[in-house]
Amino acid sequence: MPAGSRVREILLVPHTHHDVGYTDSPRLIDRQHRDIVRHVLDLCDRTEGDGDAALRWTFEISRPVIEFVRRAGRADVDRLRRLVLDGRVAVTAGYLNLTQLPGERELERMYEALAPLAEAGIPVRTEQHGDVNGLSWGSVPAMRRHGVSRLVMALNPDHGRPPFPQPSGFWWEGPDGSRVFVLLSTHYGIGEEWGIIDGDVRLAAKRIAALVDELDERDDYPFDVAVVHAANDNRWPTLEFLPLMAQWNELHPDRPMRLATMDDALDRLERVAASVELPVVRGEWADWWSHGHGSTARELAVYRQARTHQLTGEVLHALSDLRGDGAVDLASVLGHSRGPVRLRSRAELTDDLAFVDEQLWLFGEHTWGSWESFSRPDSVYTASHWNAKAGFAYGAYDIARHVATEGLFRLLASGSGDVAGSAMHRTGLGTDRTCLGGPSIVVMNPTARRRTEPVLVELAGQRTTVVTATVEPFGVTTVELPAEPVSDDTAGTVETPEYAVTVDPGRGGVVSLVDRRTGADLVDAGSAFPLGALVAEMIPADSEHPFLVRPRDFHPDFPGPEFDRAAATSSAPVRVMRGTSFTALTWSGSVAGVNVSTTLRLYPSFDLIDLDVTVAKAETLAPESLFVTFPFAVADPRFLVETAGAAFVAEHEQLSDTSKDWYAIQHAAGVSGTGSAVLWGSYDAPLAQFGGFQTGKWARSLDAPAGHVNSWLMNNLHFTNFRAAQGGTQTFRYRFAARSHDAAAVRRFGDDLLHPLVSRQYAGHVAPSGAAGLVVSPGEDVLVDLRPADADGVVLARLRSLSAAPVRARLSWAAAGVVEATAPAGTWQPLGTEGGLELELTPHAVADVWLRRSV
């Protein structure tokens, strides 16, 4: 070993990088990865012993192993368990290689999906991700809650930068102060690029030697081993790297190479990490690759709607389980528009919700398209691949939407069967079902806090209207059908008690939006584009940026390109409609072959503003981007952004060199500073640029002189994997309000968009009146999710603290004695004669409570 060398050993880690597609159709890849598990076991049996040739293997993600365990015979499961316990095989904790699309509920459920491994006696200690350039900050406490304390990120350097040199080690601290040890590894693809997995001994040895020499020169690399990936996309396991090891060890006996699992490698690195001072970083690992979400605007909106239907449906069914089923009014046809012909059994509901979970996970996985989606965008394979990927979103949507509809019918009839009538009557829940006497609107609140909001309602499947409703926590109310709205020939300026708004279609949107409570105009008068404008971002025809010749060069090493931008405008007048509960302004425009119709709705006595933007466009393979602009008049802005399980301050609470050009948010962001403060949210489109247009800056710091939020609807600034073009007609929905806020308020606002009030035209009986029974306080400080009853009749209530201070939460049923509640031992105390329980939640904590009907 050369004098002064730090690296004493090379750990070669064989694995397969898991793409749900890319190299072949998702319909095939999923099955092949299950087959890989058995093949690895066979290779381990063929290379028995403790010598250098004894295979060590890491399953980069857990999903194929879980599926194998479910399907395999006892002998094969025993063989897998024995190899794991012997250190020959490692199974990691990541269910899939994820994007930042999944929310905190999806993260939790993916860890819960590891249960078959624990039941089979297969330990899981490390989480590994490949390709993806980031993870949501809430991943850290989620990992720790499920016993995972180490993370490997084998980033792909295309289209982004790592927060530290690759490889490096550091501690990543979550919003709750918990930490995981991170190996920021080399790109997993060096296994193929360097010839390792193809048996190119000469090239591989040269490249590995160069890596080791580089690590020896780095003062910030304290480890005595180098971790080298022997992997690539969906590669079938082989033993082609064994000759490399034999030759290396013959030439470098003082610095040997050996096969290792990723658990082995992290054990070695973590021992050193415990004895040296490594960086500790806090904040979002903002993903540079998230701009790819904008390549599939329609299907991404479907995915988000499916998640909303799923979570809402679970609440509706859970409340019905606790209240007791009544006589659901059945309809004569199948379908969403009328009551279901038959209700699912408990087993059917469980299976359908598990299916929705899986489809959502598969859509949120990082593989968006085929390897030739840009080089051959019109090929049958590209179309087939996207059809399969999109099918995950539509499959989830179809089932989740139906579950939610059925759940609403169940809840409206619940409590009129075998629930103790006197108790229900005493609390105002009502055993006498209310007959509405004609078409009306029923509104349900799927959250634990009282809400008063405007609600968009579909009437008879033909038109929509708006009603306002106050709905108790987990409660139901009814509202009369409003009168037909009337048109108003008012010019482009209207006023409500809260706002005065002026629209100029000639500029493309709202040029003034005055908060009449303060006199402040929310629209930045110096902005190039008004609020609600549809802006096309195009590369000038005379651009010489290399991206136009080599799309891979949309990359930090090649700043730019510069863009031209124009708003959709029109000379047509603004149309104004006034209803009982709203005033709507609608205008239209066109730009770069794209047509748009935009509607802004104001509500008397509400500070909320809704904006719907309907875009109609043809497909184009030319580079393009579309935005909806929100140039809020806030100087020295601070952007507080909702991510999965947390809210972070852009720039100040994110890892260095992670994406500041664009962010993938869950639903909400807060803008505050000098001037007004605004809470802003997007139902359908998760990408946003803050402070102005940032595309192609590849900024190391966020340049945000003004409080502008630009919602990035779609783009095709890619070279592989993502879609090359998209077209059609689609509506994007936004809600915002002039409000001061903190991190908890941002998360609540996002949760309101994730769990909108459920509304439906309805002419049947309504059993619940007001609260449906479950009471959680303080409702503003916790988010509460409900899961339908399991086979034993137990409903899961999961409480998530929004507070930075401890919270004493109380959970009870409005009718004493109707529901029994328990939680993990030592975390709660009963409420005595009131029924229910009380428990203390530490800051940002998650706690489970189990509920069961006692009558």
CATH number at residue 780: 2.60.40.1180
User: Per the domain annotation, does 427 fall within a domain?
Assistant: no
749 in a domain, yes or no?
no
Whether residue 128 is found in the same domain as residue 262: yes
Q: Are 723 and 403 in contact (CB under 8 A)?
A: no
Last residue of a domain, one of 282, 298, 322: 282
As beta bridge partners, residue 849 has 797
User: Within 10 A of 400 (CB to CB), how many other CB atoms are there?
Assistant: 27
Whether residue 375 is found in the same domain as residue 301: yes
Are 815 and 423 a contacting pair, CB within 8 Å? yes
- Does one domain contain both 230 and 274? yes
pLDDT recorded at residue 48: 83
Short-list 162, 155, 184, 160, CA closest to 171: 184
At which of 763, 794, 816 does a domain end?
763
Is 383 a member of any domain? Answer: yes
**Same domain for 666 and 536?**
yes
Contact between 38 and 55 under an 8 Å Cβ cutoff? The reply is no
Query: Are residues 648 and 778 both part of a single domain?
Result: no
**One domain for residues 251 and 293:** no
The end-to-end CA distance of the chain, in Å, is 75
Interatomic CA distance for residues 717 and 661, integer angstroms: 13
> Residue 188 and residue 725: Cα distance in Å, rounded?
29
Q: Are 536 and 565 in contact (CB under 8 A)?
A: yes
* Secondary element (H or E) of residue 441: strand 440-444
Structure tokens at 353: 């919700």
Residue 202 and residue 350 in one domain: no
- The pLDDT score that the predictor gives to residue 764 is 78
Judgement on whether residues 623 and 727 belong to the same structural domain of the protein: yes
Nearest to 127 by CA among 36, 229, 59, 189: 59
Task: Match 């590669």 to its residue by tokens.
Answer: 235
- Report the 10 Å Cβ neighbour count for 375: 13
The CA–CA distances, whole Å, from 804 to 348, 575, 840, 845 equal 40, 46, 13, 10
What size, in residues, is the chain?
855
**Are residue 140 and residue 216 in the same domain, yes or no?**
yes
Domain containing 792 equals 773-853
4 belongs to a structural domain: no
Give dist(CA 680, CA 697) in Å, integer.
24
| Reduced 3-state DSSP string for 499-510 | EEEEEECCCCEE
Residue given tokens 């309101």 in the structure block: 752
Whether residue 1 is contained in a domain is answered as: no
- The residues with which 782 forms a beta bridge, in sequence order, are 801
Number of domains in the chain: 5
CB-based contacts of 49, cutoff 8 Å, min separation 6: none
Exposed/middle/buried for residue 384 (C-beta within 10 Å: 0-12, 13-18, 19+)? middle
Cβ contacts of 72 within 8 Å, gap of 6 or more: 38, 80
> Does residue 426 lie in a domain region?
no
Contact 759, 442 (CB under 8 A): yes
Task: Spell out, as residue ranges, where the chain has pLDDT lower than 50.
Answer: 417-434, 436
Residues 409 and 337 in one domain: yes
If one counts every other C-beta atom within 10 angstroms of the C-beta of residue 740, the result is 11
Residue with tokens 């996207």: 386
Q: Are residues 457 and 371 in the same domain?
A: no
- Look up residue 601 and give its two tokens: 């709705």
- The model carries a pTM of 0.95
Biggest alpha carbon–alpha carbon distance for the chain: 91
Q: Note whether residue 221 is domain-resident.
A: yes
Q: Which amino acid is at 163?
A: P
In a domain, 746, yes or no: no
Q: Are 100 and 290 in contact (CB under 8 A)?
A: yes
Domain closes at, from 225, 254, 282: 282
| Distances in whole angstroms, Cα of residue 338 to Cα of each of 157, 321, 332, 756 | 51, 22, 8, 21
CATH code (residue 64): 3.20.110.10
Pair 720, 783 in one domain: no
> Which residues are within 8 A (CB) of 242 and not within 5 positions of it... i.e. 6 or more apart?
52, 53
CATH number at 581 reads 2.70.98.30
d(Cα 46, Cα 32) in Å, to the nearest integer?
Answer: 21
